Amino acid sequence: MIQVAIMGFGVVGSGVAKIIEENAALLKTRLGEEVNVKYILDIRDFTGHAMAGRVVRDFAVIEHDPDVKVVVEAMGGVHPAYDYSLKAIRAHKSVVTSNKELVSLHGRELLVEAKKAGVRYLFEASVGGGIPIIRPLSDCLAANKISSVTGIMNGTTNYILTQMKENGTPFADALSDAQARGFAERDPSADIDGKDTCRKLSILADIAFGYQVDPNEIYCEGIRNISPRDISDATEAGYCIKLLGHARVDEEGITPIVAPFLLANTHILSGVSGVFNGIGVVGNMVGETMFYGHGAGSAPTASAMVGDIIEACEVSSSPVLWEEKAPEGYIKDVTTCPFARYLRVKGTRADSLTTLAECAVRAVSHEDETAFFLPPMTDDEFAVILKMIPELTVTSSIRIFTPGEFVPKNG
């Protein structure tokens, strides 16, 4: 059994415990052993919680228990998180963290200590919440000279800017909403004023360019002064406003900046809305890459941390392996999935295409053809409709990808 201790049982720490419990069978398959939360270090006692009996107040209990293999640091802040992480590493325990402030300031030192102790210091959750970006950058893109990293790296501010733009929500209300959803930092000024993005950009720049970039030396502007008028003027001109972290390197050095920017609606990052983050990395061999996903919140952040727990444990066999044959019916027939469709046919709407017009959500008339946007239906249902119209000439039929609707009917 792999024994884990969680330091800090807030939004992220409790999310890690939840994944360990809910995905216990999956973790056992991946690791060949069960994962167990042996201790929770917190100043609160969580009376009535199923894990209340595992709460300890003294870090030394964890430090001196040789059974604890991985320590999950979800405390936030630099002290005592730094001191405990260092002690845990020196006690030959791997440490997994979401703490960008600590990693951006002391990551290098803790990595060196971990190497000395023969354990791991892993921080996938420190940038981009649930988005895999640290290992892709340090491992998968290792063959590249990275020339820039650019991203929306703070879910709270992106949520606020999106709410302001799409719903006209006042800044303060959007912030309270983000806090209630567990996106914001304990002190949300770190989000609003861009400090959180500076820390994340600093970590990415350290890895991408190979030098420690001090987060406190990054040029930084937050979104506190963005007004509804800024947003409406930008919108009218074909832009959105995003808080970006950007760092590029040339022969002369690294240029990092964190600030709100007007971003053309044609830029791929303009489509990154709400709590989502998007991070683009440019490498001299791979070209442009983009990483996208939930940038904050309990489950996405904990997902990255549990991934790091798995990485920290020695796997007994290759984790990349699958069964030879799926159980009967396990691989479903995609034609039973309803899809919305774009259908273009010969003739105009006046040519009695009423059956299609009646069920379409939108129709576009061309000179000699008519296009219909049809609601989700299965292949069979679609065939029935087509059969009802004699002498129909289909010139185009394309499924519309709507992820939420990608569900087998009756399945």
Nearest residue (CB) to ligand HSE, 113 versus 196: 196
Nearest-approach distance from CB 183 to ligand HSE, in angstroms: 4
Query: Which residues on adjacent β-strands are paired with residue 287?
Result: 283
Nearest-approach distance from CB 114 to ligand HSE, in angstroms: 22
Nearest-approach distance from CB 349 to ligand HSE, in angstroms: 48
Nearest residue (CB) to ligand HSE, 260 versus 283: 260
**Which amino acid appears at position 285 of this protein?**
M
Nearest residue (CB) to ligand HSE, 155 versus 260: 155
Q: Please give the structure tokens belonging to residue 118.
A: 């023969």
Which residue ranges make up the site for ligand HSE (CB under 6 A)? 129, 154-156, 183-185, 191, 196, 295-296
Angle at alpha carbon of residue 301, lines to 89 and 74, rounded to 5°? 40
Q: Which residues, other chains included, contact 144 with Cβ-Cβ below 8 Å and sequence gap of 6+?
A: 283, 284, 285, 286
Nearest residue (CB) to ligand HSE, 270 versus 298: 298
Nearest residue (CB) to ligand HSE, 279 versus 377: 279
Q: Please give the structure tokens belonging to residue 277.
A: 């983050």
CB distance 98 to 304 below 8 Å: yes
Nearest-approach distance from CB 293 to ligand HSE, in angstroms: 12
Nearest-approach distance from CB 248 to ligand HSE, in angstroms: 22
Pairing of strands 35-41, 55-56: parallel
CB distance 102 to 84 below 8 Å: no
200 given a catalytic annotation: yes
Return the residue matching tokens 């000395």.
116
- What whole-number distance in Å separates Cα of residue 265 and Cα of residue 350? 37
- What whole-number distance in Å separates Cα of residue 38 and Cα of residue 67? 9
Q: Which residue is at the shortest CB distance from ligand HSE?
A: 156
CB distance 406 to 376 below 8 Å: no
**Which amino acid appears at position 389 of this protein?**
I
The catalytic residue among 165, 200, 332, 346 is 200
Query: Which of the residues are catalytic?
Result: 200
